[in-house]
């Protein structure tokens, strides 16, 4: 825990975060504009939906946020800490997901429709992790919670944490798609919406772990051998909770995860308490250098802990599920890694 606090105060660490923001903007901006123009030229998109209709590429983000099916939590589907133009459409959500690449508009529409369909059917898909009293004491906790992507009743549980540089939560690209795929495999997957800031984010993840353990019977989930997943800043959260535990962030001590699944983040500190760890990253990542991630994994392996890394040629930061490339299917291999480190 001392190492974590030191990293938060260290001047070089702060400078690294600033350089991260600048380099990411350089790497990501042009390609997004080109991709968007390509979609417009190809005529993709459809008419804006009304209540009860399916969302399309042309649906306004504002219409999803205000959809009555979501009963007031629709705003948390998209980053609450990013300005969202009232005319922004689902096909262009990448515009508000800075530092990310390979954003798939069709996947965005699929997720929005998944959430709407399940909410409209009366299924509870969003869970508060803080009490009303806690939210009154700290209004920022209003912008937290867990989206539930249901798998098989009684199946294992995964908590997925999106990145966003600890300044916003890029769930639509960096946790919702992964959680949905895990649910299709039969797992019960939760995507955490947390407060920006490294410390508060970790506190929210610790609370989420506690919430799921305390409510596992009601949720019909198996919390034994659960896993923590994350991309970029979300991967740091998963790694820190795996190494330091929930008690380091204000909760009772709960079991460590059976596995941590990390995408594109640069960590160097190895405590010796790391759970089995899978990592993946692109060779053209200007924010999380693949050689640094490889060194991190080697240090975990040296301690006798199961760990592995996949590197993908040419991929940049924040690639998500990255369908249609050589990296496609990494999530299946990560799930296999998790399974081999469970008690079964």
pLDDT tens per residue across span 87-135: 999 999 999 999 998 899 999 999 999 999 999 999 999 999 999 999 9
Q: Which residue has the higher pLDDT, 1 or 99?
A: 99
User: How far apart (Å, rounded) are the C-alpha atoms in residues 185 and 69?
Assistant: 26
pLDDT tens per residue across span 178-187: 999 999 999 9
**DSSP for 116-166?**
HHHHHTT---EE--S-HHHHHH-GGGGG-EEEEE--STT-EEEEEE--STT
- Length of the chain equals 344
User: How far apart (Å, rounded) are the C-alpha atoms in residues 317 and 6?
Assistant: 26
Angle 33-113-119 from CA coordinates, rounded to 5° = 140
2-340: CATH topology? Rossmann fold (3.40.50)
The domain ranges of the chain are 2-340
Question: Do 189 and 222 contact (CB within 8 A), yes or no?
Answer: no
User: How far apart (Å, rounded) are the C-alpha atoms in residues 61 and 97?
Assistant: 13
The pLDDT confidence band at residue 344, using thresholds 50, 70 and 90, is low
Characterize the bridge pairing of strands 277-282 and 222-231: unpaired
Chain-centroid distance of CA 219 in Å reads 21
pTM of the model: 0.86
**Tokens of residue 56, six digits:** 């399309």
């Amino acid at each position: 825990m001392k190492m974590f606090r030191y990293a938060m105060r260290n001047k070089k660490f702060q400078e690294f975060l600033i350089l991260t923001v600048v380099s990411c903007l350089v790497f990501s901006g042009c390609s997004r504009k080109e991709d968007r123009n390509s979609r417009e030229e190809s005529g993709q998109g459809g008419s804006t939906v009304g209540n009860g209709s399916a969302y399309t590429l042309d649906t306004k983000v504002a219409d999803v946020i205000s959809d009555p099916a979501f009963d007031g939590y629709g705003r948390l589907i998209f980053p609450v800490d990013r300005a969202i133009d009232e005319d922004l459409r689902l096909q262009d959500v990448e515009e508000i997901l800075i530092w990310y690449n390979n954003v798939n508009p069709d996947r965005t529409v699929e997720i929005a429709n998944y959430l709407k369909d399940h909410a409209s059917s009366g299924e509870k898909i969003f869970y508060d992790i803080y009490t009303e009293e806690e939210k009154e004491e700290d209004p920022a906790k209003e912008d937290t919670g867990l989206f539930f992507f249901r798998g098989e009743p009684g199946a294992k549980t995964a908590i997925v944490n999106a990145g966003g540089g600890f300044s916003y939560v890029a769930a639509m690209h960096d946790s919702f798609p992964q959680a949905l795929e895990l649910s299709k495999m039969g797992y019960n997957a939760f995507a955490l919406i947390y407060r920006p800031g490294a410390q508060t984010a970790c506190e929210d993840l610790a609370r989420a772990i506690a919430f799921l353990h305390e409510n596992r019977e009601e949720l019909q989930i198996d919390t034994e051998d659960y896993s923590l997943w994350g991309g970029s800043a979300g991967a740091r959260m998963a790694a820190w909770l795996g190494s330091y535990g929930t008690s380091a962030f204000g909760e009772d001590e709960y079991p460590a995860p059976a596995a941590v699944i990390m995408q594109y983040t640069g960590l160097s500190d190895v405590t010796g308490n790391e759970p089995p760890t899978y990592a993946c990253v692109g060779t053209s990542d200007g924010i999380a250098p693949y050689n640094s991630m490889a060194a991190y994994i080697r240090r975990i392996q040296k301690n006798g802990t199961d760990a592995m890394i996949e590197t993908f040629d040419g991929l940049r930061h924040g690639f998500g599920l990255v369908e249609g490339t050589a990296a496609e299917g990494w999530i299946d291999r990560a799930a296999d890694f998790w399974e081999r480190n469970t008690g079964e």
